[in-house]
């Protein structure tokens, strides 16, 4: 009758392990409809799109992540990945820089207006905040500031005294994106130090000027092994900085990089259906005209991994065993991966019967 004599139950047994119904989670790929709620001009060639989800449910994202934006331009759906430029829980907004001659960025700057509707896939990306308490050092170049400001604001919301330095390379004073926002942040947080480096400043510019080289980068970012370093900007600048930090003894795990690839040139896709054998599951899927390997596989319910869907992250990388594919370029595959027969399921389509190791 009394509980004292009974053995005490401490754990609840789950004999068969985790419930099967939770399944094998994949990042969501169903596009979410959004509406442009505000267009905010940041500089002469950078604009912030403030977005509202059409279903009223704000998608969860983590600072530093990006969405793949699916715009409809001239009757075609075109995808581009853009980082969020707001802190976690701070709404939904991304900042897009006009690229001279850029098809999609011109569409954003010229055709989009308040009330325009399109779709988002994601969020995704692993350029994420270090959840520890150690110092953070950021190097941003040009529009590379977008995920960086999201990370900095989130870090300071969590710990208003966190030791943070941002080195931000721009062409001139007028090209500094979020200038006012950064000043305000630095005013409110003494632990945040913002260093602007301008390559073509006005004569009156009092701050740092000229191009960044390895020595300057090391001097500005330091090489403390307990610090986490974030690099985001043009490829050359990131490579230079990563090499400088490696040479100074910073462990690779402490250096986080986010790459922006140039827009891919879509390959012409076959106008006939093609059969693809996914070797691992033994399933044969018919790729419809216009589909990528990934789209065909997902349509048939195959659990294929993927993330950005624009050839920028390699989450969907798979090996071609037999047959030919057409792959949109440029993309993030390394020469070694290409030599080993890998392709990107999101950016490639079968041009004849195909067999893949997935």
Partner 1 sequence: MMLDRMLNGLPLKAQNQIYSTFDNLGVLASVGNLKVAASMAPSAVRGLVLGRARHGDAVPMVSGHAAHFDLTYKGDFPEMYELYRRAVANQWNGDRDLDWSTSVDPEDPDKPVMPLDYPPFEGLAAKGIRLNQKEKLRFAADMASWTLSQFMHGEQGALYAAAQVTESVQWLDGKLYGATQVMDEGRHLEVFLRYLDTKLQKVYAVNDNLFVILDDLLTDSRWDVKFLGMQIMVEGLALGAFGTMYNFTREPLLKQLLRYVIQDEARHVHYGVLALKAHISQELSEAERREREDWAYEVALLMRNRFLSHELYYEWFEHKLSLKDWDEVVMNAPSMAAFRHLMFLRLIPNLEYIGLMSDRIKAHYDKSGLTSFLGGKNATQLSGEDLIRDIAAYKAPQ
Q: How many chain residues bind partner 1 (CB under 8 A)?
A: 34
Residues across the chain: 358
Asked if 4 touches partner 1 (CB under 8 A), the answer is: yes
Among residues 24, 155, 28, the alpha carbon closest in space to that of 88 is found at: 155
2, 190, 249, 265: residue in contact with partner 1 (rule CB under 8 A): 2
Q: Specify the residue, 63 or 108, whose C-beta has the smaller distance to partner 1.
A: 63
Q: DSSP string covering 163-215, please?
A: -EEEEEEESSGGG-TTHHHHHHHHHH-TTEEEEEEESS--TT--SEES---HH
Asked if 226 touches partner 1 (CB under 8 A), the answer is: no
Contact mark string toward partner 1, 17..36, x via CB under 8 A = xxx--x--xxxx--------
Asked if 323 touches partner 1 (CB under 8 A), the answer is: no
Q: What's the rounded Cα separation, in Å, for the pair 238 and 233?
A: 6
- At 85, list the tokens: 């430029």
Q: How many C-beta atoms surround the C-beta of residue 339 within 10 A?
A: 9
Asked if 283 touches partner 1 (CB under 8 A), the answer is: no
Provide, rounded to whole angstroms, the least separation between the CB of residue 356 and partner 1.
21
56, 75, 249, 282: residue in contact with partner 1 (rule CB under 8 A): 56
33, 160, 210, 289: residue in contact with partner 1 (rule CB under 8 A): 160
15, 44, 60, 113: residue in contact with partner 1 (rule CB under 8 A): 60
Asked if 135 touches partner 1 (CB under 8 A), the answer is: no
Q: Specify the residue, 62 or 181, whose C-beta has the smaller distance to partner 1.
A: 62
Asked if 10 touches partner 1 (CB under 8 A), the answer is: yes
Provide, rounded to whole angstroms, the least separation between the CB of residue 346 and partner 1.
17
Provide, rounded to whole angstroms, the least separation between the CB of residue 156 and partner 1.
10
Q: How many C-beta atoms surround the C-beta of residue 247 within 10 A?
A: 11
Provide, rounded to whole angstroms, the least separation between the CB of residue 151 and partner 1.
13
Q: Specify the residue, 60 or 252, whose C-beta has the smaller distance to partner 1.
A: 60
What residues form DSSP beta bridges with 277? 284, 355
35, 37, 157, 355: residue in contact with partner 1 (rule CB under 8 A): 157
Asked if 180 touches partner 1 (CB under 8 A), the answer is: no
Distances in Å between the alpha carbon of 271 and those of 73, 165, 313, 351?
Answer: 21, 52, 27, 9
Q: Specify the residue, 22 or 180, whose C-beta has the smaller distance to partner 1.
A: 22
Asked if 62 touches partner 1 (CB under 8 A), the answer is: yes
Q: What's the rounded Cα separation, in Å, for the pair 124 and 54?
A: 20
Q: Specify the residue, 58 or 340, whose C-beta has the smaller distance to partner 1.
A: 58
Q: Which helix (H) or strand (E) holds 56?
A: none
Instruction: Say if CB 302 and CB 279 are below 8 A apart.
Output: no
Coil, helix or strand at residue 63? coil
Asked if 75 touches partner 1 (CB under 8 A), the answer is: no
Contact mark string toward partner 1, 83..122, x via CB under 8 A = -----xx---------------------------------
Q: What's the rounded Cα separation, in Å, for the pair 208 and 176?
A: 13
Phi-psi region of 30 (alpha: psi -120 to 50; beta: other; left: phi over 0): beta
14, 76, 249, 252: residue in contact with partner 1 (rule CB under 8 A): 14
What residues form DSSP beta bridges with 83? 66
Q: What's the rounded Cα separation, in Å, for the pair 349 and 358?
A: 15
Instruction: Say if CB 140 and CB 169 are below 8 A apart.
Output: yes
Among residues 142, 135, 113, 102, the alpha carbon closest in space to that of 49 is found at: 113
Binding region for partner 1 (CB under 8 A): 1-4, 6, 8-12, 14, 17-19, 22, 25-28, 56-60, 62, 88-89, 128, 131-132, 157-160
């Amino acid at each position: 009758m009394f509980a004292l004599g009974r053995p005490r139950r401490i754990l609840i047994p789950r004999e068969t392990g985790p419930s099967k119904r939770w399944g094998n989670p994949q990042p969501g790929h169903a596009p979410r409809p959004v509406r442009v709620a505000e267009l905010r001009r940041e500089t002469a060639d950078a604009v912030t799109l403030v977005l509202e989800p059409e279903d009223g449910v704000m998608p969860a994202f983590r600072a530093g992540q990006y969405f793949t934006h699916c715009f409809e331009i001239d009757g075609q759906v075109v995808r581009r990945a853009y980082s969020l430029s707001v802190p976690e829980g701070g709404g939904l907004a991304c900042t897009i820089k006009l690229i001279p001659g850029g098809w999609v960025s011109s569409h954003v700057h010229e055709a989009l207006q308040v009330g325009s509707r399109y779709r988002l896939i994601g969020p995704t990306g692993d350029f994420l905040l270090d959840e520890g308490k150690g110092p953070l050092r950021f190097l941003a170049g040009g529009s590379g500031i977008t995920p960086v400001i999201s990370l900095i604001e989130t870090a300071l919301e969590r710990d208003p005294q966190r030791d943070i330095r941002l080195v931000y390379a721009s062409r001139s004073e007028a090209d500094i994106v979020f200038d006012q926002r950064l000043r305000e942040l630095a005013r409110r947080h003494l632990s945040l130090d913002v260093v602007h480096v301008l390559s073509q400043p006005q004569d009156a510019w009092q701050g740092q000027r000229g191009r960044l080289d390895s020595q300057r980068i090391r001097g500005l970012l330091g090489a403390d092994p307990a610090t986490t370093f974030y690099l985001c900007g043009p490829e050359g600048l990131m490579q230079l900085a990563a090499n400088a930090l490696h040479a100074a003894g910073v462990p690779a795990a402490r250096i986080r990089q986010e790459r922006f690839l140039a827009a891919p040139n879509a390959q012409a896709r076959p106008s006939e259906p093609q059969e693809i054998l996914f070797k691992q599951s033994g399933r044969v899927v018919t790729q419809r005209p216009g589909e990528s390997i990934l789209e065909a596989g997902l349509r048939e319910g195959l659990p294929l991994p993927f993330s950005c869907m624009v050839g920028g992250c390699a989450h969907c990388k798979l090996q071609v065993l037999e047959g030919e594919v057409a792959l949109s370029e440029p993309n993030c595959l390394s020469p070694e991966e290409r030599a080993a027969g890998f392709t990107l399921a999101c950016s490639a389509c079968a041009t004849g019967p195909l067999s893949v190791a997935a």
